[in-house]
Amino acid sequence: MPELRHDPVQKRWVIIATERANRPQDFIVSSRVDNGEDCPFCPGNEEFTPPDLCRIGGGGSAWKARCVPNKYPALRVEGELERAAAGQYDRMNGIGAHEVIIETPDHHSDLPELSIDDLAAVLGIYRDRILDLSRDIRFKYILIFRNHGAPAGASLSHPHSQLIATPVTPRTVAIELESARQHYLVKERCIFCDIIAQEMQEHRRIVTLDQDYVTWCPYASRLPFEMTVAPRRHSHDFAAMGNDEMVRLARHLRNVMRRMKSGLEDPPYNLMLHTCPAYHLENSRSGYWSTIRMDWHWHIEILPKLSRTAGFEWGTGFYINPTPPEEAAEFLRQVSVDDR
Amino acid sequence: MPELRHDPVQKRWVIIATERANRPQDFIVSSRVDNGEDCPFCPGNEEFTPPDLCRIGGGGSAWKARCVPNKYPALRVEGELERAAAGQYDRMNGIGAHEVIIETPDHHSDLPELSIDDLAAVLGIYRDRILDLSRDIRFKYILIFRNHGAPAGASLSHPHSQLIATPVTPRTVAIELESARQHYLVKERCIFCDIIAQEMQEHRRIVTLDQDYVTWCPYASRLPFEMTVAPRRHSHDFAAMGNDEMVRLARHLRNVMRRMKSGLEDPPYNLMLHTCPAYHLENSRSGYWSTIRMDWHWHIEILPKLSRTAGFEWGTGFYINPTPPEEAAEFLRQVSVDDR
């Protein structure tokens, strides 16, 4: 059983994933090569993954997208959450969920090549899995993320996203939630709505916008060409979106991904969806979450991995970004994109 | 002039280093190759770096180690600190210091190959530069760090460390300082002393220890084979160490570096020194810093880069570590090291 451990100085949880255990010698050999043969995510190889949690398309190997439990999960879905002290430290058994969303049967395809409808269906799987797992009160937060390219941590090249449900609210999300709450308590306005208003007015950091969504390079971008995607209208809950909104988001997101892929020559990247805490969905009448509908605003962060983080970043939590977001946005705005 | 920018949601400062500016096309080409020719850090090439801030050894090219300003600094040392709002955001001009400590004239050598005395002299440069820059009240924190290997962000392979002085306390350090302060306020004990006592008692995560220093794999290690080095006796200020203590630290640190290099086959890594804030040294009688002598404990973090951080880590601040620190420590303890 994996274990969650808390550092009392750095105030951070880590997952010690003993069952994925790599022994010291495993780290010395370089990472495995994925040549597209024997891919467990390709049609016909369904027996190499656990059974579907959900799928789009037909039975057998005739699916268009499917979600399966991760065969090598970082957290385990079975069991009760057990919390304990360990001297100065704190631990929890590694209860959670770890799923894989296989986005297309085509090994050599990629998210930006999907049709709008197929991409909307993938986003619909995100929503449906969040809704399903939110009913489990052991889970505080559900993160959906995507690693593209080996430098961004992808170990399999077949297009896929991942979902991890955690029994604690992760520190990064907790800081964002707290900032949004404090802003709302003083101003009775959503901090993201305020930021979007400022970005639309200044326009210098906008990458693209349409009636419903806006993408910009954040003022304090950590990495070159970092982008944030958010709905223009206030919305705290990604999973509350209907199918029509999913289609409009798919159109916007595909445009953004195509700009990035074409302009930056298919860079490695990480993509993360920050929606409201799972806990909220089942506890929206409790005190703590009573303002989250007003103060939180879901968003997607896209982090191209064009440079490497080094000792300075690890030692400070600071980032040195050599590309001003104004220049990054101007470059990405000018990439011509075929939206068909 | 570079610029410091603050993100109001993630509560993080970034350095937008416009003068190192990489234009979009620079990122598409892969990183430069360093073949050891025309190395600006090699003896005889002193004209390719700014003049020495300090040196060990003889004049001209007869030095054993030297410290120079970074030719492409992330922060600029000239000018007054100017703070301003930018709508929702905050900015500061990029005042700071960015220096390079060239640790040996031998391009193909490495820290673990230095003699104890030469390594102690390098640590003495760390101390002297911290003491010198601490007199500048514009600087809140001075971080010394080392990137080894391209996957850890090193762009030049000649052995060197870096120093960055920042006009704000970095978030990572601020969280550590605050944890230590809260612990002290309740318990009147140093949190690091408590942790060291527990580690020495349990012994399972100890890598090596001697009369003065101890190295262990932290209970909640973020990465496989992560290590913390700290003095066994309480000490808040790395720069308060005398030359004898530097020699003892050099002996301990070289042993640790040799274990890592030999056991893990010269892995890429980041090393960071977390000493007390620079501000303290000039303001130790002011209220805010009055307890720092008691509550802070300097330490060195060593992070081998054997795995890659991916979307989950970026989206949560959580880490998934496949190697329990107990196993990592046992492995590193068993590496045989020649201390001559």
Stretch B171-197: mean pLDDT: 94
Q: State residue B151's pLDDT score.
A: 81
Chain A positions touching B315 (Cβ under 8 A) are 143, 145, 170, 172-173, 270, 272-274, 301
Q: State residue B73's pLDDT score.
A: 87
Which residue among B6, B98, B160, B280 is the active-site one? Answer: B160
Q: State residue B81's pLDDT score.
A: 87
Between A243-257, A269-283, B83-97, B292-306, the lowest mean confidence (pLDDT) is in A269-283
A263–chain B nearest CA distance, Å = 9
| Chain B interface mutation, best of A195, A312, A313, highest count of B Cβ atoms under 10 Å | A312
Chain B positions touching A143 (Cβ under 8 A) are 312, 315-316
CB contact under 8 A, B272 and A28: no
| Inside any domain, residue A339 | no
Residue A237's domain comprises: 3-334
Whether the per-residue pLDDT at B32 is higher than 60: the answer is no
Return the structure tokens found at A85. 């002290």
| Inside any domain, residue B147 | yes
| Inside any domain, residue A95 | yes
Whether the per-residue pLDDT at B257 is higher than 60: the answer is yes
| Chain B interface mutation, best of A162, A318, A323, highest count of B Cβ atoms under 10 Å | A318
pTM of the entire structure?
A: 0.90
| Inside any domain, residue A87 | yes
Q: State residue B181's pLDDT score.
A: 93
The confidence band for B201, taking pLDDT boundaries of 50, 70 and 90, is: very high
| Inside any domain, residue A74 | yes
Q: Closest partner residue to A321 among B15, B271, B272, by Cβ?
A: B15
Place of tokens 């980032």: A319
CATH code of residue B55: 3.30.428.10
CB contact under 8 A, A318 and B12: yes
Contact B3, B92 (CB under 8 A): yes
| Inside any domain, residue A190 | yes
Q: How many domains does chain A have?
A: 1
Is A189 buried (19+), middle (13-18) or exposed (0-12) by CB count in 10 A?
Answer: middle
The confidence band for B19, taking pLDDT boundaries of 50, 70 and 90, is: low
Stretch B109-117: mean pLDDT: 94
Contact A224, B27 (CB under 8 A): yes
d(CA A15, CA B218): 13
Q: Closest partner residue to B224 among A18, A22, A220, by Cβ?
A: A22
CB contact under 8 A, A176 and B9: yes
Number of H helices, E strands in chain A: 9, 15
Q: State residue A288's pLDDT score.
A: 53
| Chain B interface mutation, best of A23, A183, A316, highest count of B Cβ atoms under 10 Å | A316
Please list the pLDDT of chain A residue by residue as tens digits (340 residues): 889 999 999 888 999 977 655 555 555 434 444 555 689 999 999 999 999 999 999 989 999 999 999 988 889 988 888 999 999 999 999 999 999 999 999 999 999 999 999 999 999 999 999 999 998 988 999 999 999 998 888 888 999 999 999 998 888 888 999 999 999 999 999 999 999 999 999 999 999 999 999 999 999 999 999 999 999 999 999 999 999 999 999 999 999 999 999 999 999 999 999 999 986 655 554 555 567 888 999 999 999 988 776 777 777 778 889 899 999 999 999 999 988 8
Highest mean pLDDT among A330-334, B73-77, B278-282: A330-334
Q: Closest partner residue to B318 among A14, A28, A219, by Cβ?
A: A14
d(CA B272, CA B259): 18
Name residues whose C-beta falls within 8 Å of residue B263's C-beta, 6 or more positions apart in sequence. Answer: A24, B331, B332, B335
Strand order in the sheet with A97-102: A54-57, A63-69, A97-102, A160-166, A141-148, A269-274, A299-304, A227-231, A213-216, A206-209
A56–chain B nearest CA distance, Å = 25
Chain A positions touching B179 (Cβ under 8 A) are 8-11
Residue type, A237: D
Whether the per-residue pLDDT at B207 is higher than 90: the answer is yes
Chain A positions touching B303 (Cβ under 8 A) are 314
A187-192 long-range contacts (CB < 8 A, ≥24 apart) are A188/A294, A190/A234, A190/A294, A190/A295, A190/A296, A190/A297, A191/A295, A191/A297, A191/B8, A191/B9, A191/B88, A192/A230, A192/A234, A192/A296, A192/A297, A192/A299, A192/B9
Ranges of H-type helices in chain A:
24-28, 116-134, 171-187, 191-202, 243-263, 278-282, 292-295, 311-316, 325-334
Q: How many CA atoms lie within 13 A of A214 on its CB side?
A: 20
B80–chain A nearest CA distance, Å = 20
Task: Tell me what ipTM this predicted complex has.
Answer: 0.88
| Inside any domain, residue B339 | no
Chain A positions touching B310 (Cβ under 8 A) are 145, 147, 152-154, 270
Place of tokens 């795995």: B307
| Inside any domain, residue B340 | no
